[in-house]
């Protein structure tokens, strides 16, 4: 017989860690043979990269496939919402996706945490918000999605799904149900396995840490005022970073680069610092990345990002070996990247249909030692 499966999707009472265990039970005296499917065609490449950390954690003995589909468009969107408006936002996104496909026959699904009351609430909101011609949206709890496939998928609050029985496996299944696009709507921080924050070695991998700004002498008024000013400066910087991370373009590019560093270069990037988009120790030393979102390829936006890098270095009190601006596309002005490098000593890379381009790309991707 032929057995086809994905160990990372095993949600039963006794999930297997490797095919060896399962095959020994099923095989006869003639033995067994394992053939891994190392290429995938169903998931967009960006979604495949986003799901890879979950697969690596759940089934480390198996090879995670590489998508053969070219990257492009916006197949992955990460949207933050207020907790009180989370379900409204998720339903709204599902309706927008469904209405964009009127007449095409393509399907849309909204996956919510495994709670019957939550499902009913989402169904009621959909009924109230939809227009007459809006196609149906499949609203499903995380426990009922295995084996299903939809063109567009909206997943509400991944962190809540991880707290369910077999929660990480259910989340992995949820984010791999789409063929065209995946939208994540969340109020809580994304689960650490997706951002790298749950790797205990990551924090040790980078010397850039938040500066302790507590007063050395609370009785000294001048020192206290200075500290309060610095606190305000750091708080403003963190607020601006949080705002930028609400951009789907920004987060899409950031997660693509995280995937390159983690799974292409086998490094441990730090991605959960409040003022830094990505920082990583690699062959070229410590590297700091500032990611730009919508319209981030213009020289004006690049100059603004340079200032943020300088502010981050001041706030963190560390000087990295290399600094990169990461753009969503090729610079609008042909001279811009060279001007940024010559004027500020910061290199620029950008995303292309084929991968990455720009200055010192091998250093940026953690695959070279630089000069």
Domains along the sequence of the chain with CATH: 7-193 (3.40.50.300), 222-364 (3.40.1350)
Strands 76-80 and 178-186, by their bridges, are parallel
Of 212, 155, 150, the residue nearest 184 (C-alpha): 155
Give yes or no for a contact between 154 and 186, defined as CB atoms under 8 angstroms apart.
no
Q: What does the CA dihedral 336, 338, 342, 344 come to, rounded to 10 degrees? A: 50
DSSP conformation letters of 110-158: EEE-S-HHHHHHHHHHHHHH--TTPPP-EEEEGGG-TT--EEEEEEE-H
Quickly tell me which residue has 């065609």 as its tokens.
Answer: 41
The CA distance from 279 to 52, in Å, is 20
Tokens describing residue 57? 């954690």
If you search the block for the tokens 């499902």, which residue do you land on? Answer: 119
The two structure tokens encoding residue 229 = 């000013």
User: How far is the C-alpha of 205 from the C-alpha of 79, rounded, in Å?
Assistant: 29
Give the burial class of 29: count Cβ atoms within 10 A of its Cβ; 0-12 exposed, 13-18 middle, 19 or more buried: exposed
Which of 9, 282, 292, 293 lies closest to 171 in space, CA to CA? 9
pLDDT score of 138: 96
Q: What is the largest CA-CA distance in the chain?
A: 82
- Quote the pLDDT of residue 204: 35
- H helices of 150-271, in order, are 158-162, 167-175, 192-195, 202-205, 221-244, 248-259
What's residue 4's pLDDT? Answer: 84
Q: Per-block average pLDDT, block size 10, for the chain (371 residues)?
A: 82 76 82 84 88 87 78 81 92 94 93 94 94 92 93 95 91 94 92 69 34 38 55 73 81 88 85 81 89 89 86 72 92 92 91 91 83 47
- Alpha-carbon span 6 to 62, nearest angstrom: 9
Given a contact cutoff of 8 angstroms between Cβ atoms, the answer to whether 161 and 172 are in contact is: no
Say what the pLDDT of residue 240 is. Answer: 77
| Per-residue pLDDT at 230 | 65
d(CA 352, CA 72): 8
Residue that is written with structure tokens 């991880």 in the block? 162
- What is the distance between the alpha carbons of residues 164 and 115, in angstroms, rounded to a whole number? 10
- How much is the pTM? 0.55
275 secondary structure, DSSP code: S
Segment 327-347, tens digit of pLDDT: 999 999 999 999 999 988 999
What pLDDT, on a 0 to 100 scale, did the predictor assign at position 60? 84
Nearest by Cα to 207 from 128, 320, 349, 124: 320
Tokens of 13: 């009472």
Q: How far apart are CA 291 and CA 103, in angstroms?
A: 37
Adjacent-strand bridge partners of 270: 279
**Chain mean position to CA 187:** 15
């Amino acid at each position: 017989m032929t057995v086809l499966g994905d160990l990372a999707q095993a949600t039963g009472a006794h999930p297997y860690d490797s095919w060896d265990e399962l095959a020994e039970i099923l095989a006869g005296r003639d033995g067994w043979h394992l053939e891994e499917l190392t290429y995938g065609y169903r998931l967009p490449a960006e979604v495949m990269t986003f799901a890879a950390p979950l697969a690596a954690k759940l089934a480390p003995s198996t090879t995670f496939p590489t998508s053969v589909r070219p990257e492009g468009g916006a197949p992955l969107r990460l949207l933050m919402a207020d907790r009180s408006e989370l379900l409204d936002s998720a339903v709204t996104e599902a309706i927008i996706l469904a209405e964009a496909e009127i007449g095409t026959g393509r399907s849309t699904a909204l996956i919510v945490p495994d709670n019957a009351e939550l499902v009913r609430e989402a169904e009621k909101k959909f009924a109230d918000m939809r227009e007459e011609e809006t196609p149906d949206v499949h609203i499903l709890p995380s426990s009922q999605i295995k084996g299903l496939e939809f063109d567009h998928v909206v997943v509400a609050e991944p962190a809540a799904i991880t707290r369910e029985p077999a929660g990480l496996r259910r989340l992995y299944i949820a984010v791999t149900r789409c063929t065209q696009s995946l939208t994540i709507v969340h109020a809580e921080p994304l689960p650490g396995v997706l951002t790298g924050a749950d790797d205990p070695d990551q924090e040790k991998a980078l010397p850039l840490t938040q500066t302790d700004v507590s007063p050395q002498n609370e009785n000294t008024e001048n020192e206290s005022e200075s500290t309060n000013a610095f606190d305000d400066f750091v708080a403003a910087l963190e607020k601006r970073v949080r705002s930028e991370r609400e951009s789907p373009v920004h987060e899409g590019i950031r997660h693509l680069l995280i995937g390159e560093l983690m799974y292409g270069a086998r490094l441990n990037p730090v991605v959960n610092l409040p003022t830094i988009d990505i920082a990583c120790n690699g062959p070229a030393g410590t590297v700091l990345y500032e990611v730009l979102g919508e319209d981030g390829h213009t020289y004006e936006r690049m100059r603004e990002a340079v200032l943020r890098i300088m502010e981050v270095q001041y706030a963190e009190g560390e000087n990295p070996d290399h600094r990169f601006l990461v753009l969503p596309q090729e610079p609008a002005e042909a001279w811009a990247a060279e001007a940024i490098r010559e004027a500020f000593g910061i290199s620029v890379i950008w995303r292309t249909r084929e991968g990455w381009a720009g200055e010192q790309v091998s250093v940026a991707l953690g695959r070279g030692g630089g000069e």
